[in-house]
Amino acid sequence: MKKICSEIQEKILSSEGIFSTAIEGHCVDCASCRQLKQDWQLLSQIKPEPKIALTNDFAVIRAAQKFSRSQRIQVAIRRGLGYAAATASGIAAIYTVMFHGPLPDTANDIFNKAWNWDNFEEKVFVLDTATEVSRQDITIGASKDVALDKFIETEINIEQI
């Protein structure tokens, strides 16, 4: 490589895409300098990406750490309140069982009050008989509307038992 070529190439690389007439004149005759000039023009068109300050990244990380910490604190508080509520309800249940007698109505008492089994068979027999009579009324020829209404009413009473 000639000394002039090395000087021209240094000028090409130090220029920012603006070439002097001396560089242009030399590149017309020299193929290697012309190739370097074309490559440098292509490379100079590429714009570097803007640099992002690292302080922003650290600020984002710090904010995420604070948010994570506050979330952990909230979860711990909720969990503690849950344990406290469970403990209080357990103590109340133990107190109720230990210091109060049995409840006045047992399940059997409530069931027997709701269902009075006295005369149950008689009630079923009466309704069964009424159903049979209403069926006979329908088939014998009584007024079909009245007989049908009586039959339906009797069936509803059976369902209620």
pLDDT of residue 88: 92
* 66-114 confidence digits (pLDDT tens): 888 888 888 889 999 999 999 999 898 888 777 765 655 666 676 666 6
Based on the domain organization, do 97 and 112 belong to the same domain? Answer: no
Could you tell me if 117 and 156 lie in one domain? Answer: yes
pTM of the model: 0.31
pLDDT at residue 120, as a whole number:
75
Query: CA-CA distance, 115 to 109, in Å (whole number)?
Result: 10
Q: In this structure, are 41 and 81 located in the same domain? A: no
Q: Are 33 and 26 in contact (CB under 8 A)?
A: yes
Q: Identify the DSSP state of 19.
A: -
DSSP designation for 142: S
Residue 116: what are its φ and ψ, rounded to 5°? -90, 110
User: How do residues 109-157 score in pLDDT, each as one tens digit?
Assistant: 766 666 666 677 777 788 888 777 766 655 555 555 666 666 677 666 6
Indicate the number of domains in the chain. Answer: 3
Query: Do both 137 and 154 map to the same domain?
Result: yes
- Which residues span the domain enclosing 120? 108-160
- Which residue's structure tokens are 């984002």? 60
Between CA 78 and CA 57 the distance in angstroms is 32
31 and 45 in contact (C-beta within 8 Å)? no
User: Minimal CA–CA distance to 18: which of 49, 41, 1?
Assistant: 41
Residue with tokens 């190439």: 9
